[in-house]
Amino acid sequence: MAKKIAFFDAKDYDIASFDEANADGKYKIKYFETKLNEDTVKLAKGYDVVCVFVNDTVDEKVISQLKKKDVKLVALRCAGFNNVDIEAAKDKIGVVRVPAYSPYAVAEHAMALLLTSVRRIHKAYIRTKDFNFSLNGLMGFDLHGKTVGVVGTGKIGRVFMDICKGFGMNVIVYDKFPAEGAGIDYVDINEIWEKSDIISFHCPLTEETYHMVDEKSIMHMKKGVVLINTSRGALIDAEALLNGIRERKIGAACLDVYEEEADVFFEDRSGHILGDDVLARLISMPNVIVTSHQAFLTKEALTNIASTTLSNIEEYLSTGTCVNEVK
């Protein structure tokens, strides 16, 4: 009998890519628009697998409910797993993820944000739409010769480093776990704060990286620094960022992720009053660009996410383990 997958937080683009990957009908996939959390976990009854994304809540309570409902597996269709209580899942339910689907998608988006910001493309686009061809206020700066600090030299960080080198930038990097033999020269994190004109974050959200950008680290940064975050929102203390921008210490921020994004991102909120004052204030700043956790969203990435997720599910359900299991 076809195994049943309860698919949470389903969007049109997810449904299209998973239906394509499941064209042979091997799995019975039920798409739920709602996110998985304590209130919606009842929907998982009768399913073998729950398939979740970055803002679904898979905490201890949800895990124990899933176990009671005899769900075997939490299949994350993303790389990060900070929204899953891995300790609570141990010996109760399997957890698999998609460790890599397109590092290019995310690294290229980071560069797209940076170029948009420093060349004021977001402003110019709106001006010329309104037949305003004035250049006042649109002066940018060359990326060539600038120092970019890259935090996290995994799959995405390395692609981003290569892109920056192509622009003739001076790349300095920090990683808590430096890759040996990769020919990368690492610096310590203080050097990143002190020397970078631009800093881009490509490390996971952990207890250690939580709020790594806070009032203290901002104090050590260069005046006018541009911050790019395509990793996880909570790497940056959003209020400290806002203060840094108000004080003209931070020159610009390019944010694809936001600490409190779970209740806001991925949905059409136009016509609503945004309850999050910090986010509203950040968006109102001329030197802040926010995209709605969009960096992964390319055709190639979605195709890889769907095929890897389904093969993870197949491997786990047939062998009880999986090469992409999170332990």
Residues with catalytic annotation?
232, 261, 293
Tell me how far, at minimum, the Cβ of 267 lies from ligand NAI, in Å.
Answer: 16
Q: Candidates 155, 218, 233, 265: give the one binding ligand NAI (CB under 6 A).
A: 155
Q: How far is CA 122 from the centre of its chain?
A: 21
CB nearer to ligand NAI: give 73 or 78: 78
Interface with ligand NAI, residue 233, by CB under 6 A: no
Among 74, 76, 84, 152, binds ligand NAI (CB under 6 A): 152
Smallest gap from Cβ 189 to ligand NAI, in A, equals: 7
Query: Using an 8 Å Cβ cutoff, are 203 and 151 in contact?
Result: yes
Determine the 3-state secondary structure of 4 from DSSP.
strand
Query: Do the Cβ atoms of 254 and 228 come closer than 8 Å?
Result: yes
Contact with ligand NAI (CB under 6 A): which of 45, 90, 176, 269?
A: 176
Contacts of 168 (CB under 8 A, 6+ apart): 143, 144, 145
**In the set 149, 157, 244, 251, which binds ligand NAI (CB under 6 A)?**
157
Burial class (CB in 10 A: 0-12, 13-18, 19+), 91: exposed
Structure tokens at 178: 């430096």
Supply φ then ψ for residue 67, to 5 degrees. -60, -45
Per DSSP, the chain holds a count of helices (H) and strands (E) of 11, 11
Count of residues touching ligand NAI (by CB under 6 A): 30
CB nearest ligand NAI: which residue? 154
Cα separation of 93 and 47, whole Å?
Answer: 13
Instruction: Establish if 224 lies at the interface with ligand NAI (CB under 6 A).
Output: no
Residues 296, 306, 310, 313: which binds ligand NAI (CB under 6 A)?
A: 296
Q: Tell me which residues in 38-97 interact with ligand NAI (CB under 6 A).
A: 79-80
Q: Which residues pair with 95 in a beta bridge?
A: 74
Q: Determine, following the binding rule CB under 6 A, whether residue 289 of this chain makes contact with ligand NAI.
A: no
Give the binding site for ligand NAI (CB under 6 A).
79-80, 100, 103, 106, 151-157, 174-177, 202-204, 206, 208-209, 230-232, 256-257, 293, 295-296
